Amino acid sequence: MKLVTKKLLLAAAITGLLAGCDSGGITIAPETNDNSVDNSTGGGDGGAVVNNPCASYEKAGSVKQGEFNSETGNCAYNAAFVDSGNPLTVDLVIPALENGAHLFEGSLFVGNNYDDDTTMAAAGIAEGGDGARLTVQAGATVAFPDSTKFMVVNRGSQLVAVGTAQDPITFTSLSDVEGTVGPEDVQQWGGMVINGFGITNKCAYDAEMNTSECHVLAEGAAGKDQSNYGGDNNGDSSGHMEYVRVKHTGAEVANGDELNGITFSSVGSGTIVKNLQVYSTYDDGIEMFGGAVSFENYLAMYVRDDSIDIDEGWSGSITNALVIQSETDGNHCIESDGIGSYKDTNDYSALIAAGLNSRPVIDGLTCIISAQSEGTHDPGAGWRFREGIFPMITNSMVIGSFAADENGVEGSNYCLRVESDETTAALAAGTEASITSNIFACADKTKGGPIGADELEAWAVANGNVFADVPADAALNPTAAADTGLQLLEGPLSVFSIDTDSMMVNDAAVGISPVERAYLGALSAGDSDWTVGWTYGLHDGSRAQALWFEQQ
């Protein structure tokens, strides 16, 4: 009832504001955001002339522009400006507003969607850059009214959202803009879906990795919300995202899909993603369906399902990632499938032989997980590898000892889980898959295996990993300040890795060294802090609550 009421109020407000939206006689250059034209409006301050800074575009001789409210500083855009059934098909720049946000009544779909080769070729869409480009300027905030509204970047189109540490870009909810949202509230709007021309094992390929009629339905695909992904270009570019925050997302849409913070569907390696945060998300933080997009400096906080979810042959990398689950919610830090979704399990030996299974490379990951017995989806846990995935994981940590394991040692709050004959065989061989130079601190150490002739824990230790002995019925603080036999983290936030030579596990030195870098985990007090300035929820001055485990 609250969502419906809020939506009706917003719609009514925007309808009144946009009565004169299609004004003529204005020359627009969206790529350069030329605001020198006279877009004056009486606004809301008694008739005074105010320049309209809202985004605008020209199409078929008609200009559409958002309506500026000078009292709130916000720009409002109704469904006639853009929506799922009315996608953006020309370039558009969303500028930074001095003290306001861009409020969309409908969904924001960029570019047309195509589900057959003939129509797509006739439209001239073959790779990223052929379609519309949405540019979001540093410091801009884009907001949506409720969980039925979300954002899609279709194949051929691009999102260019490049913020700075001082002026990050935020995609969030109307409730967040209005200041009525709680710090861990989710499902305030849908989330983001980015579709590319990368490889997915949901399509058929020849020996040269060429395909045709590869149009897989993306998450959120139903009716006007339908979008498709897939192709044979793992180098495709869907744009550039840097210093971007995505907050309060996740919803079950018309076809039953649960939208993530951001879904990367066959997004190629030509896409740049650096300094990305997802915050308070109902489903997954980021989920990759095939493709080869890579990530550098990723922060996930209060994700209720999997903070990193891998499917359909994703072959990209993640370098430096910090995952912080809620004290009472969250499922996996990493959940990963080599082929597709787990329910579609079959004989995938041919796909693996063709190199179509997921092959992630992850380096410098710190997971601080909940030890709760139940969450929105499942109990808190570390890493799960299944379905013929070939992972390469180094210099990382899973820490589940800040709170006592509610279930005791019974296998649900594990640090490391490995399944499927193909995955265990690849890890045993050690050429295409490896897990090395990592530290695990959970009461439930492992689940699954064996790897070759060894139980999973014994194999992991033999391959340069370390397991802490965490009691089943009590917390074990892993910080230097606590002065226990487990010392991995330091600093007032308790998220910075101690120098490896000073780390302790089970009252002894860890006995491993970082591989080709200076420290284990996502952050080190001796290195630059890539989270400073632009993230939300971590540092004082830009959060609504303290971290549940930080030192006071």
pLDDT in tens, 259-276: 999 999 999 999 999 999
Residues whose CB is less than 8 angstroms from the CB of residue 369 and which lie 6 or more positions away in sequence, other chains included: 323, 325, 330, 333, 380, 381, 382, 398, 399, 400, 413, 442
pLDDT in tens, 207-244: 999 999 999 999 876 778 999 999 999 999 999 999 99
Average pLDDT for residues 63-73, to the nearest whole number?
98
pLDDT confidence of residue 442: 96
* CB atoms inside a 10 Å sphere around CB 257: 20
pLDDT confidence of residue 552: 56
Distances (CA, A) of 437 to 40, 298, 423, 464, 515: 61, 20, 19, 5, 7
pLDDT confidence of residue 47: 52
Cα–Cα distance, 511 to 213 (Å, whole number): 52
Report whether pLDDT(97) > 70.
Answer: yes
Cα–Cα distance, 198 to 231 (Å, whole number): 5
Report whether pLDDT(372) > 50.
Answer: yes
Residues whose CB is less than 8 angstroms from the CB of residue 539 and which lie 6 or more positions away in sequence, other chains included: 493, 531, 532
Beta bridge partners of 439: 397, 466
Q: Token pair of 3, please?
A: 């969502």
* CB atoms inside a 10 Å sphere around CB 247: 27
pLDDT confidence of residue 29: 28
> By 3-state DSSP, what share of the chain in percent is helix, strand and coil, each rounded to 5?
10, 30, 60
CA dihedral 290, 294, 299, 305 (to 10 degrees): 10
Radius of gyration of the chain (CA): 24
Report whether pLDDT(53) > 50.
Answer: yes
Residue with tokens 């109020």: 9
User: Tell me, what amino acid is at 532?
Assistant: V
Average pLDDT for residues 529-550, to the nearest whole number?
97
Report whether pLDDT(23) > 70.
Answer: no
DSSP 8-state symbol, 487: B
pLDDT confidence of residue 348: 82
3-state secondary structure 28-94: CCCCCCCCCCCCEECCCCCCCCEECCCCEEEECCEEEECEEECCCCEEEECCCCCECCECECCCEEE
Q: Which residue has the higher pLDDT, 376 or 368?
A: 368
pLDDT confidence of residue 32: 31
pLDDT in tens, 123-162: 999 999 999 999 999 999 999 999 999 999 999 999 999 9
Report whether pLDDT(360) > 80.
Answer: yes
Q: Are 275 and 530 in contact (CB under 8 A)?
A: yes
pLDDT confidence of residue 245: 99
Distances (CA, A) of 42 to 45, 51, 493: 7, 9, 48
Scored b (16 or more CB within 10 A) or e, 130-149 reads bbbbbbbbbbbbbbbbbbbb
Mean of all residue pLDDT scores within the chain: 90
Top-level class of domain 87-472:
mainly beta
3-state secondary structure 203-250: CCCCCCCCCCCCCEECCCCCHHHCCEECCCCCCCCCEEEEEEEEEEEC
Report whether pLDDT(44) > 70.
Answer: no
33-37, 40-44, 52-56, 304-308: least confidently modelled range: 33-37
Q: Token pair of 353, please?
A: 């032989």
Report whether pLDDT(93) > 50.
Answer: yes
Report whether pLDDT(25) > 60.
Answer: no
Q: Are 67 and 17 in contact (CB under 8 A)?
A: yes
Beta bridge partners of 479: 489
Cα–Cα distance, 153 to 174 (Å, whole number): 21
Beta strand 62-65 with 56-59 is antiparallel
> Which pLDDT band, with edges at 50, 70 and 90, does 58 fall under?
very high
> Which pLDDT band, with edges at 50, 70 and 90, does 1 fall under?
very low
Reported as type and span, the H/E element at residue 421 is helix 421-429
Checking phi first, is residue 129 left (phi over 0); if not, alpha (psi -120 to 50) or beta?
A: left
pLDDT in tens, 442-484: 999 999 999 999 999 999 999 999 999 999 889 999 999 998 8
Q: Are 366 and 397 in contact (CB under 8 A)?
A: yes
Report whether pLDDT(16) > 70.
Answer: no
Cα–Cα distance, 353 to 347 (Å, whole number): 12
Whats the size of the chain, residue-wise? 552
Q: What is the pTM of this model?
A: 0.91
Beta strand 489-490 with 496-497 is antiparallel
> Which pLDDT band, with edges at 50, 70 and 90, does 344 fall under?
low
> Which pLDDT band, with edges at 50, 70 and 90, does 336 fall under?
very high
Average pLDDT for residues 491-516, to the nearest whole number?
97
Cα–Cα distance, 171 to 245 (Å, whole number): 6
Tell me which residue of 16, 15, 34 sits closest to 26, measured CA to CA: 34
* CB atoms inside a 10 Å sphere around CB 224: 14
Whether cis (ω within 30° of 0) applies to the bond prior to 450 is yes
